[in-house]
Amino acid sequence: METTRKVILWDRLSIGNPEIDNDHKMLLEIYNDLVDLIEFKKSREEFAKILTKMTDYSLGHFKKEEKYMEYISYPKLKEHRDFHRNYIYKVSMFNVDLLGTNPPNPEEIIDFLKKWWINHILKFDLQFETFKKENELDVKY
């Protein structure tokens, strides 16, 4: 089965913040549900429904992250917030286009999501946790 290689496993994606890590685990579960839908050749409508679930969960997660970054006075908050907004826009447009007359290939969406989440977690989210540790901020969040 070709698409199973696209599943994202949690094994090395922890940033060391249990609350944010738990959100990331849930997002990756939703992502893996999308991979399953492709593998089992479900409809575009079902794919759009799960993609909407991912978008909705992402919105709540991003608010939580941004509030946390404000709390620790993270200097790259604006840049990080812009990444979040760009992601939401792009995924929302995928969802709109999925139900249109010229829908994107779900495999392309999966590829985008996989690259985006892995890069975002391991690069950008890890940066704010590193900032917290380097500044010896004793923050329980």
pLDDT in tens, the chain (141 residues): 444 457 777 778 999 899 999 999 999 999 999 998 888 877 888 888 999 999 999 999 999 999 999 999 999 999 999 999 999 999 999 988 888 888 888 889 999 999 999 999 999 999 999 999 898 877 665
Residue ranges of domains in the chain: 41-141
Query: Looking at the domain 41-141, which fold is it?
Result: Four Helix Bundle (Hemerythrin (Met), subunit A) (1.20.120)
Closest of 59, 9, 28, 119 to residue 127, by C-alpha: 119
Cα separation, 97 vs 76, whole angstroms: 32
Reading the block at residue 138, the tokens are 């004793």
| Amino acid residing at 137 | L
Q: Do 6 and 114 touch, CB atoms closer than 8 A?
A: yes
Q: Is 110 helix (H, G, I), strand (E, B) or coil?
A: helix
Alpha carbons 115 and 133: distance in angstroms, whole number = 26
The pTM for the full model equals 0.87
